[in-house]
Structure 1
């Protein structure tokens, strides 16, 4: 997926000079322009099923597609009364604000790492 992304054309770019570049060329251009080391960590593609909704939060947004940090949350529920999109967006914002390391205590236990309770998402108070 990473290689595929790097070959795509950057059609939506804030910098007019970069709009005709491929992802790979754009990354090189960004490094040269900012003099900062930048890389693509990982890319994946996931499609939501019928009972699932995506939520997202972008912090420090300076434009529609540029931010300092963000999160993406996929949720599902069998309760049709729940506004799943709004809840997913709220949890995505919470993830950016509170920076949990693990979702549950069992995940933390499996890692073998020593973690404090506030590093586990399900132990944190939800901020709204």
Structure 2
């Protein structure tokens, strides 16, 4: 039997262990947060030093970029060529043959259930 003193000692050790684990996790979280903060500060300092802010901003008129239009016939020919190429590559690929060994326990289970189904069928028909 466990005495009350041993039980209380076990609870104290458990509480101490949980407290130590959470304290270490808290310290690790704070260290990681500080490293992230420091990295953001260093990156901000590097980017702010390289790109000076212009004093006067000039408005540049936006030019609408025209997409080169492909005639539908040419688009159909290109699409057919791509599909023919991918079909040819797919035809060249062949699956690797391998045989999977079926576990004996599954094979025996299958045989057993088949036998039970036959027995149940014969019993229902009144042949037994």
TM class by shorter chain equals: under 0.3
TM-score normalised by L of structure 2 = 0.14
Higher relative contact order (CA 8 A, sep 6+): 1
Structure whose CA Rg is larger:
2
Question: Which one has the bigger helix percentage?
Answer: 2
TM-score normalised by L of structure 1 = 0.14
